[in-house]
Amino acid sequence: MTFVRSVGHQWLKAQLAHRLQLSLASCEHLQSLCCGSTRLESVTHFMSTLIFIEGKPEWLELDMTMNEQILPDSVVLHCFFECCRVLFIRELSQQSVGQVEQLVFTLAEEWRKQYINSKDKDSVSESICSMIERLSNQLMMLRLERRQFTRNMGN
């Protein structure tokens, strides 16, 4: 039974990654940020892994029959928030993150800006946008402090 559950879990992760890729691919600006060795497919698989890091999220509803459809914008926004939350904690504890992790923050910030300007937002989504912005700002301040500390160490 555990094997079947594991396979189902992996299927959901793959489905989420695929649908995230379809959703983000429709936005040329976001797609242009993914270049070189960091393809959009790699980023969405990484995001899916982060989202499922604590098991299947309660807020995420995936329908097997809708595998080729883009996700609603609010779900993509929630996915970005979950990734940013995990990556923020990771950067606080590890000192630095890789190219894919930094790209997730960049894409999240761009998606947030795009979403804020849309008509279809609700209070929950506005709150999520605010939290993504706060995480991004705190991360930027943390990186500036670390850079300043490193410079001061060299003098």
Supply angle C-alpha 126, 29, 27, rounded to 5: 70
Phi, psi of 53 (to 5 degrees): -60, -30
**Are the C-beta atoms of 67 and 19 separated by less than 8 Å?**
yes
Count the Cβ atoms, other than its own, within 10 Å of residue 49: 14
Percent of the chain past pLDDT 90, that is, above it, reads 46
The yes-or-no verdict on residue 155 having pLDDT over 60 is no
> Within the chain, what is the greatest distance between any pair of CA atoms?
61
What total of structural domains would you count in the chain?
1
Secondary element (H or E) of residue 79 = helix 73-94
Q: Give residue 135's domain range.
A: 2-154
Q: What is the pLDDT of residue 46?
A: 95
SS3 96: coil
Query: What average pLDDT is seen over the chain?
Result: 86
Q: What is the pLDDT of residues 56-114, one digit of tens each?
A: 888 888 776 677 899 999 999 999 999 999 999 998 887 677 889 989 999 999 999 98
Structure tokens at 96: 């630095």
Q: What is the pLDDT of residue 76?
A: 94
